[in-house]
A = this chain, B = another copy of it.
Amino acid sequence: MDKVNINEKLSLFSDYGNQRVVGELNGQQVKLVKQKGEFIWHKHENEDELFFVIKGSFRMEFRDRTVVVNQNEFLIVPRGVEHKPVAEEEVSIMLFEPASTLNTGNVENELTRHVLDKI
């Protein structure tokens, strides 16, 4: 039951695309990630995902539209919906999603991370 300071946790890492778990509750996890550049198209069959921008901005591409998400905004991507996050500049994102969520969803490649560090 210790509080978590988001900026303090963000200061602990600088690599892109490597999610850290900073909280767990009700089978869900709170994760932090820094991203820059294009991620890959993927979807999650069984998990809805929430992306909350702590710093910076990014755009979420869907097959039929694009949503730009800025600081202090969040976007929920429902299960089954293909999406691709793209960040022109570094963005820091807090994720809320089931603990079972794999970062690359239905795609497995060199970006896939099965085990995440808890910080």
Residues of chain A touching chain B, judged by Cβ–Cβ distance below 8 Å, are: 1-7, 23-26, 28, 30, 47-50, 54, 62, 67-70, 72-78, 81, 96-98
Set B23, B72, B73: member contacting A50, Cβ < 8 A: B23
Could you list 6 examples of A-B contacts with CB < 8 Å?
A: A4-B74, A5-B72, A6-B72, A25-B96, A26-B28, A30-B74
Q: In the assembly, what is the distance between CA of A28 and CA of B98, in Å?
A: 10
Checking B1, B2, B73 against A4 with a beta-carbon cut-off of 8 angstroms, the contacting residue is: B73
Q: In the assembly, how many copies of this chain are there? A: 2
Task: Quote the shortest CB–CB distance from A9 to chain B (angstroms).
Answer: 10
Q: Which of B26, B70, B76, B81 contacts A23 (CB 8 A)?
A: B76
